[in-house]
């Protein structure tokens, strides 16, 4: 059974006003998402699922789905503020979505096989999709065995200043034991470093794994999500900014001993357009990948 690629794209309309950020950054006008889907198809993924907001379904089908549906089966699912378990209603003043794990929950009806979760606007690299596909095809009917791609922190930094990264801690078997969010990470005197609670720079190895929101799950993850989301809402229903993030549930499942999460190493370099200033650098990197023959141009 081929794994599914599940693309989190519900933030698009709200963050950028329509789909303007589906910006042609590649030399043939490709978006970052085009590269992820190209890599996934070549790594052996069998289906594509997007979670989006209902308000831009028409535009999304026209600009995005139409482009891919000849190459791979495509499904759309929707994330809205009022998609809550029975007995819950969103606070009338809430405008912020419920977070990445709520977005994942929207795939429950259409995903029945191992699946990978990615952000729509991050470049992950072909090796990352390959290691995920290889791991997930060994799982098939198993449960409670998940994975994530641990990017080498030195391959995820920005030229423009500090970045926030989820630094992974692992056991001797290479399984995740926790993700610690470090909000300021950069090179200091040539060494990757983060600022600790006492405002001191702490140097870490370039190969230290960090999470870039690239996860591999089996469908049992949906039932854990449903259960945990009820607890989350009971505690946070009136908190207008609280979000149900993937690492929140993953950490719970690890701490309870319910599931293991294998941290898969990748040599891929991650990049994305977080700020407008990042755009020229990303354009240059994609051009270089095409010029060196890593990707064809145009891509499709």
Residue 207 lies in a domain: no
Q: What's the mean pLDDT in 145-161?
A: 92
Residue 72 lies in a domain: yes
Band of pLDDT at residue 15, cut at 50, 70 and 90: low
Write the CATH number for 54: 3.90.550.10
Residue 280 lies in a domain: yes
Helix (H, G, I), strand (E, B) or coil at 28: coil
DSSP one-letter string for 202-235 = EE--TT-EEEEEEEEE-THHHHHHHHHHHHHHHH
Q: What's the mean pLDDT in 98-123?
A: 95
Please state, in angstroms and rounded to a whole number, the distance separating the CA atoms of residues 144 and 245. Answer: 18
What does DSSP say about strands 122-123 and 271-272: parallel, antiparallel, or unpaired? antiparallel
The count of structural domains within the chain is 1
Q: What's the mean pLDDT in 123-139?
A: 94
For residue 124, give its domain range.
4-142+212-251+269-291
Residue 21 lies in a domain: yes
Residue 61 lies in a domain: yes
Arithmetic mean of pLDDT over the chain: 91
At 183 the pLDDT is 85
Q: Give residue 177's Cα distance to chain centre.
A: 19
Residue 203 lies in a domain: no
Q: What's the mean pLDDT in 276-298?
A: 92
What does DSSP say about strands 191-195 and 201-203: parallel, antiparallel, or unpaired? antiparallel
At 20 the pLDDT is 53
Residue 246 lies in a domain: yes
Please state, in angstroms and rounded to a whole number, the distance separating the CA atoms of residues 152 and 268. Answer: 8
User: Which of 251, 260, 255 minimizes the C-alpha distance to 220?
Assistant: 260
Whether the pLDDT of residue 231 is over 80: the answer is yes
Residue 100 lies in a domain: yes
Helix (H, G, I), strand (E, B) or coil at 82: coil
Whether the pLDDT of residue 34 is over 90: the answer is yes
The model's pTM is: 0.92
Whether the pLDDT of residue 195 is over 60: the answer is yes
């Amino acid at each position: 059974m081929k794994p599914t690629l599940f693309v989190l794209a519900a933030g698009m309309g709200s963050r950028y006003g329509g789909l303007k950020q589906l910006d042609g950054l590649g030399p043939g006008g490709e978006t970052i998402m085009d590269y992820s889907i190209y890599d996934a198809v070549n790594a052996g993924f069998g289906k594509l699922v997007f979670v989006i907001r209902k308000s831009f379904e028409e535009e999304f089908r026209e600009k995005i789905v139409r482009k891919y549906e000849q190459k791979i089966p495509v499904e759309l699912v929707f994330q809205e503020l009022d998609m809550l378990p029975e007995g819950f209603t969103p606070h009338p003043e809430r405008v912020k979505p419920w977070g990445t794990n709520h977005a994942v929950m929207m795939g429950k009806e259409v995903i029945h096989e191992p699946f990978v979760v990615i952000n729509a606007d991050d470049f992950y690299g072909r090796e990352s999709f390959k290691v995920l596909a290889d791991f997930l095809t060994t799982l098939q009917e198993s449960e409670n065995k998940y994975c994530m791609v641990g990017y080498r922190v030195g391959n995820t930094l920005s030229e423009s200043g500090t970045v926030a990264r989820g630094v992974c801690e692992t056991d001797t078997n290479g399984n995740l034991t926790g993700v610690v969010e470090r909000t300021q990470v950069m090179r200091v005197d040539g060494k990757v470093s983060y600022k600790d609670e006492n405002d001191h720079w702490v140097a870490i190895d370039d190969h230290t794994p960090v999470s870039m929101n690239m996860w591999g799950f089996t469908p049992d993850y949906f039932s854990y999500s449903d259960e945990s989301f009820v607890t989350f809402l009971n505690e946070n229903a009136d908190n207008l900014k609280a979000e149900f993030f993937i690492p929140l549930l993953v950490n719970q499942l690890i701490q309870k001993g319910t599931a293991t999460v294998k941290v898969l190493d990748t040599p891929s370099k991650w990049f994305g357009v977080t700020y407008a200033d990042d755009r020229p650098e990303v354009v240059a990197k994609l051009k270089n990948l095409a010029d060196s023959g890593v990707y064809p141009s145009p891509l499709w």
